[in-house]
Amino acid sequence: MLFGMKVASIRLSPAFLLLSASLCVAAQADDAVSYQREVAPILTKRCYACHGPDQAESSLALDSFANATAETDSGEPAILPGDADGSELIRRIASDEEWERMPPEGEPLTADEIAILRKWIDSGAKYEKHWAFEPLQDVEPPAVEDAAWARNDIDRFVLAKLEAKGLAPAPEADRRTLARRLYYDLIGLPPTPAEVEAFVRDDRPDAYERLVDALLASPHHGEKWARHWLDVVRYGETNSFERDGAKPNAWKYRDYVIQSLNDDKPYDQFIREQLAGDELESPTKDSIIATGYYRLGIWDDEPADKLQAKYDEIDNLVSTTSQGFLGLTVGCARCHDHKIDPIPQTDYYGMVALFADVKPYGVRGDEETNSQWDLSPPDLKQRRDGLLGQRRAMLEETETLEQQAIARMSGRDQRRTETSKREQVLKEKLAEHQTEAERSRYLDLQNQIADLNRQLDALPAADLALALASCEPHPETTHVMLRGNPHVPGDEVTPRFPEIFEEAEPTIGHAPDHARSAGRRRVLADWIASPENRLTGRVIANRVWQHHFGRGIVRSANNFGQLGTPPTHPELLDWLAGWLVEHEWRLKPLHRLIVTSSAYRMSSAPNAAAAAIDPANDLFWRFDLRRLTAEEVRDSALAVSGELKLLVGGPSVYPKLSDEVLHTQSVPGLGWDTTPTAAEAAKRRSVYIHIKRSLIPPELANFDFPETDNSCEARFNTVQAAQALSLMHGGFLQEQAQALATRAVAEGPADRQGRVKYALRLVLQREPDAEMVSDSLQLIDRYQTGHGLSADAAFDQFCLMAMNLSEFVYLD
Amino acid sequence: MQRNFCGRTRREFLWQTGGGFGAAALAGMLGADGFFPKTASASSSPVPAIAPKAKSVIFLFMYGGPSHIDTFDYKPGMVGMDNKTIAVDTFGRGGKKNEGRIVEPRWKFKQYGECGKWVSDLFPHVGGCVDDIAFLHSMTAESPIHGSAMLMMNSGKLLSGSPAMGSWVHYGLGTGNKDLPAFVVMLDPSGGPISGAKNWSSGYMPAEHQGCVFRHEGAPILDLARPEGVSREMQRDTLDTLAKINGRHLTAHGGDDTLAARIASYELAFKMQMSAPEAVELAQESQATLDAYGVGQKPTHHFGTQCLLARRLVERDVRFIQVYSGGAHNDANWDAHGDLVKNHTKHAAETDQPIAALLKDLKQRGLLDETLVVWGGEFGRQPTAEYAEGTGRDHNAYGFTMWMAGGGIKGGVSVGTTDEIGSRAVDRPLTVKEMHATVLTQLGLDPNHLSYFYNGLDQKLVGVEGAEPIREVIA
């Protein structure tokens, strides 16, 4: 999940962790204990489950000063401010007696944790409101000693913290490294050797900024950054469950995201379009397509409990929306008040009420009415809707007539009508089981339907989009559901925003009689997109930062609550959020600001002394090395082999899947275009691959493509043998290695050494060093002399080796 | 669970640093090379809270839903009731009904073993093992529809997106072997179950916890086979050069752990090319063993081979092995909507002998004590007919039978009952979550504490409300 977190922390060997723990304590000796960063995480994670806002066992709750210092069942308060030694809390957590030691479950608190709580109590046990629930702070960049290092204000925030710990930022990376970093971070593709060369030789003072601007203007920028957003909105193009059926036109939403990012659409508009694109003053084709947001989740077409399924669908919206836009896990309050964060159950159902006009994705047999919006011109649409309505009624009547007759057939035939043999059975046996009147009506219907089909075929094709095609303008009253059970409604709830925002309850009038929707989502969208919203700006600024530095300032990018990870640079985060709002919520200037900072240009070179002080690189003393994402690995292979087709947008593509993979399906190949033409057409960027939830291509899955059914804040970053097998033996890489070999032969010098260098240059975007070239030449020799390979085959194998180099899949 | 490794539990930390598939091997190699202290190996996961009885699980998944009253839930009172229409509440894919036409059990029952358990003629071989089996006759499921019921049985949730039980076990215990997956899935030759890979997905956990599909024909694991024309010696040469160049890259990066793990992962991949095919190489088995499992005979060959492989994987410390009987759709699995006799005869004939052979083989090798075998489908079937004619039964989640054997489970016992026609659980209704809790408990994992922090909650296989193991079956 936590991509950034993983990248940063994966490098921590346990030895380092021990070291850092002891150093932390030493460093804190002179500092005051921070409630937010040090105390609150201990209380929330270790105490609140039994002594928190939700539960107060033995009449003790540690969630506020008043509660923590109040008398408990034992007659004593848990905390005596200013007196740790006299506080029952300290006695109980430090006790050696297992029967009285708190917490009763799990490991005891560590000596360091106990020391933190002691110091906090001794200094008065002051509580502070959780940082993320406070309004944005108006912060000034701090003063720094090495003012020359700071290219912009970001650098002042970063450097001030480094200087406070006696750390110096890593030197600037070389130009070749910076070029590669910028290409991957801004467009997700490797530069060509010529592009690197051009940048290295560009001696204009603003060469770097020019490259940044060019990349931000590239149509491929949207392709790269859209994928980050698609992770957040749990983008999938099928419904999961038994049939895992396709969601037609989902790709138009994906293209909408790509286009919005390429156009640098203000983020507040981007929010409004997705949440309420159908309720804007003047909806556009784009804003309608944007409401596909609501239709991307999983959907059970055959639910055992329809009401439960309906609430599960809304739950997915509440969870995705609150995490994605607000960094809040409101979904946790579905069954009871949130145990840790101040999110009561009424907040959850208040959000449910805001989504009350969203109808289910569909019903089995009709996935169009609620989810496919015809964007054709109005007159055409009216015409088609009329014909479709007539046809639907006739098809229903036909079906009823058929079922009446089927009920009179033998059991065996009844069973056959549920299989692919249905048409055949109907053809052979329907007539004999129908009355004369039934028969004549049936035939009449068939003729009329045929006629309607002819009329429909004569019309231009519908311009359908996956969207909120039909809404409930006057939804029923929403209730709190006791223990989250939709069959046990409790008190009524009106549409409202979570309490922690301290906002007045929104006034939402009754929608006019002929309204198509309830107008509630627009209110929600406007509130989330408001510059005053405490979390929206922070959350998106953090995501932008996250995908440049490999981790967010808040590592838990979907959870800014008390169970999330505290920000490493809270002032910087608030400053960035404020800056973004001031710059009309446009993301491209923010990207530019970040990547032109000195902080971003640091080298990733190791530094043992710095690592000893800050092993997780919390302070950004260097740039973190990262593995390429699943998409970047695949796209890079296609790019260096010369096979990549750089078309932007359009329906999704179907890369070749092996028979083994297809045979995990109950019907191998169902829902996947397995033709060679499709495989050829799929040599495009991975963002265009059809996302079938039960059939994720191994090239993506092995490299930590996210779970598709819920919002993903940050991807895992694993190292697995399956990755090695996929890159060494997988059909895709085999093919790309061969294409690379063919390309090097066609484009490179005629001699072997020249070809080797040419191929390595394509793969690594740099001049290969002599050792690498000589190792490669020796390998090719052994292939030929020791293993009997032809010169061509040996070169193919060498190219495969080259595409397995760590340098190819890691970015400095 | 304590979380101090950058907000994650120690286990999460280990998994993400390469602690998944082959983690012990990776960590071992790194340790040997001085990259990781030995403490980072997966085997140093916190000691389980409960003394473990089982080391491995074999889940024999009867996909489609076998009929309990035609197999292990003896209903003598139904004899003579055939075709009678009675009032009974049922809920299947055909919706809710309140009356139906009885389809009498189509097989005779006999008593077996010292416990005198009644078992139908569909499972005479398994009948011979009843003294080692604990029957759960009062299972209930939350859904009578394949899609959601399969997800429930495999992941404890009706919705997709959560980790499978095998993923939880891998996460909780780590891998027990050096060069094989920890969670293996074997499919029916007719195809995967509906929802395919969703059934063995690791959901919100990292992908190395997901089930690895294992085949007994061709290369057992995806992309394991070297491409044509690449010999092992030649690949060794490639890997040596690769390691040399990647090693220099590693040194330039100060011995970065992920880069070191990456180099080690290539060695592991190389080793697996020997170990995985060795695991599926049946030439080492005696003819008597092959015969016992029905390998090489119709109709038991496929399932028998998979049961035998399951034993071989248990011997190689694979944690969780799921074997599917039935795949694809309609009568290719236990989903007997049409002709009950034809359907169940086919699937029982494919599985009865292999299952009994597996239980006996494990026992004879002293492995049954530490191997928990679970048998069952996603639900059972109704006592009444689905159609006006014929013997087809619709789904039944109100009551059905599963069974467990080995791994510290009592033999020769039966828990719970359904009513006199098997329409619903009446005495001691059991939930899927309780079954899951029992499996975890036998492995030494506390089901109510094995958690993974995700979406702001400590998620559990048994759900946030928790579930207790079925104590009556625990020895």
Q: What is the pLDDT of residues A350-394, one digit of tens each?
A: 999 999 999 999 999 899 999 999 999 989 989 998 998 999 999
- From the list A648, A652, A647, A688, the residue with the least C-alpha distance to A249 is A652
Mutation for B interface: A664, A738, A811, most B CBs within 10 A:
A664
User: How much is the mean pLDDT over chain B?
Assistant: 90
The size of the A-B interface in CB pairs under 8 A is 327
Query: Residue B6: which of A329, A605, A616 has the nearest Cβ?
Result: A616
Tally of residues, chain B: 475
How far, in Å, are A365, A419, A421 from residue A416 at the CA level? 19, 5, 6
Asked if the structure places residue B19 within a domain, the reply is no
Report yes or no: A694 at the B interface, CB cutoff 8 Å: yes
Predicted confidence at residue B327, as pLDDT, reads 95
Cβ within 8 Å, pair A694-B196: yes
What's the confidence (pLDDT) of residue A55?
Answer: 80
Q: State pLDDT tens for residues A418-457.
A: 888 898 999 999 999 999 999 999 999 999 999 999 999 9
**Whether A14 and B40 lie within 8 Å, measured CB to CB:** yes
Angle between helices A587-595 and A207-217 (to 10 degrees): 150
Following CA atoms A170, A174, A179, A182 in sequence, which dihedral angle do they give, to the nearest 10 degrees? Answer: 0
Question: In whole angstroms, what is the distance from residue B100 CA to residue B23 CA?
Answer: 54
- The CATH number linked to B100 is 3.40.720.10
Asked if residue B240 belongs to a domain, the reply is no
| B256 to A661: CB separation less than 8 angstroms, yes or no | no
pLDDT for res A31: 58
Q: Which residue did the predictor score with more confidence, B56 or B50?
A: B56
- How far does the CA of residue A373 sit from the closest CA of chain B (Å)? 27
Query: Cβ of B195 and A801 within 8 Å?
Result: no
Which residues of chain A are within 8 Å of residue B191 when distances are taken between CB atoms?
663, 665-668
Residue A506: predicted pLDDT: 93
Instruction: Reduce the secondary structure of A508-563 to three states and give it as a string.
Output: CCCCCCCCCCCCHHHHHHHHHCCCCCCCHHHHHHHHHHHHHHCCCCCCCCCCCCCC
Residue A200 sits at φ, ψ, to 5 deg, of -60, -35
Q: Distance between CA A712 and CA A565 in Å, rounded?
A: 16
Tell me: pLDDT of B357 over 50. Answer: yes
Q: Does A307 touch chain B (CB under 8 A)?
A: no
Is B196's CB within 8 Å of A666's CB? yes
Radius of gyration of chain A (CA): 30
Q: How far is CA A158 from the centre of its chain?
A: 26
How high is the mean pLDDT of chain A?
92
Residues of chain A contacting B202 with CB distance shorter than 8 Å: 707
Q: Is residue B361 part of a domain?
A: yes
Q: Give the model's pLDDT for residue B178.
A: 85
Nearest-neighbour CA in chain A from B370: distance (Å): 27
Q: Which of B20, B330, B464 is opposite residue A718, by nearest beta carbon?
A: B20
| Of residues B1, B16, B159, nearest to A6 (C-beta) | B16
Q: Do B13 and A666 touch (CB under 8 A)?
A: no
Statement: residue A2 has pLDDT above 50: no
Q: Which of A783-797, B22-36, B93-107, B212-226 has the least mean pLDDT? A: B22-36
Query: Under an 8 A CB cutoff, do B213 and A606 touch?
Result: no
Residue of B nearest to A112 (CA): B4
The tens digit of pLDDT for each residue in A518-550 reads 999 999 999 999 999 999 999 999 999 999 999
pLDDT for A44: 85
Q: Which residues of B touch A556 (CB under 8 A)?
A: 7
Q: How far is B115 from chain A (nearest CA, A)?
A: 37
Q: Judge: A797–B272 Cβ closer than 8 Å, yes or no.
A: no
Mean pLDDT for the stretch of residues A333-346: 86
Contacts of A383 (CB under 8 A, 6+ apart): A459
8 Å CB contact between B149 and B64:
no
pLDDT over 90 for what percent of chain B? 84
Report whether pLDDT(A729) > 90: yes
Name residue B384's amino acid.
Answer: T
Report chain A residues whose CB lies below 8 A from the CB of B261. Answer: 719
At residue B427, does pLDDT exceed 90? yes
Chain A residues near residue B159 by CB distance under 8 angstroms: 298, 300, 312, 709
For helices A306-326 and A267-276, the axis angle rounded to 10 degrees is 170
Per the domain annotation, does B233 fall within a domain? no
Q: Domain extents for chain A?
A: 21-137+535-600, 175-217, 266-365+472-528, 384-456, 729-811
Residues 6+ apart with CB under 8 A from A751: none
Whole-number Å distance between alpha carbons of B336 and A655: 36
Number of domains within chain B: 1
Distance, in Å, from the CA atom of A79 to the CA atom of A39, rounded to the nearest integer, reads 14
Residues whose CB falls within 8 Å of the CB of residue A75, separated by 6 or more in sequence, listed in order = none
- CB neighbour class for A106 (10 Å; exposed up to 12, middle 13-18, buried from 19): middle
Which domain, by its residues, includes B338? 47-216+280-473
- What is the distance, to the nearest Å, from the Cα of residue A625 to the centroid of all Cα atoms in its chain? 21
Q: Is residue B445 part of a domain?
A: yes
Please give the DSSP secondary-structure letter assigned to residue A169. P
